[in-house]
Amino acid sequence: MRCPYCSHEETQVAETRDSDEGFTRRRRRCLKCDRRFTTYERPEVAMPTVVKRDGGRVEFDAAKLRSSMMLALRKRPVSIEQVDSALERIQEKLLSGTLREVPTTRLGELVMRELKRIDKVAYVRFASVYRSFEDVDEFRQLIRDI
């Protein structure tokens, strides 16, 4: 680990703590300048690549998924903890599968399932944009299904 102060490459771990959020916190000391700093380690997991409708491929971006969900949930009585739990369930489903690539349609369906579970209005908001309804009858059918 490189020291953020003097860029020396040798540091010593002074203290290690595991957190409930799945990362390891380490206090380190530089062997050259003797300054201390903290690092956070999180296991790297290989999320599947997202295949867009036009055939393009992008890396899975949890922040983008979160912002889409938060947009649908705007001004709704849903806690951040509920959103975080929903995102974790989506990511677990993606990781538990054997697919190296996941189409946006599958990802959208997973988001809709979670939104339907936590807030019906947000579900309708997300579905109306995601499914790009052509007429009012399709929209009515979605609401009836709820």
- Give the pTM: 0.63
> Is 1 inside a domain boundary?
no
Q: Which long-range contacts (CB under 8 A, 24 or more apart) does 24-32 make?
A: 28/1, 30/3, 30/5, 30/6, 32/3, 32/6, 32/8
Shared-domain flag, residues 99 and 78: yes
How far, in Å, CA of 99 to CA of 143, rounded?
Answer: 32
Shared-domain flag, residues 55 and 123: yes
**Helix, strand, coil % over all residues of the chain, rounded to 5:** 45, 20, 35
- Residues spanned by the domain of 28: 11-41
Provide the residue-wise pLDDT of the chain in tens; the chain has 146 residues. 899 999 999 999 999 999 877 789 999 999 999 999 999 998 777 889 999 989 999 999 999 999 999 999 999 999 999 999 999 999 999 988 778 999 998 999 999 999 999 999 898 888 877 776 677 777 677 777 77
Per the structure, how many domains does the chain have?
2
Helix (H, G, I), strand (E, B) or coil at 72: helix
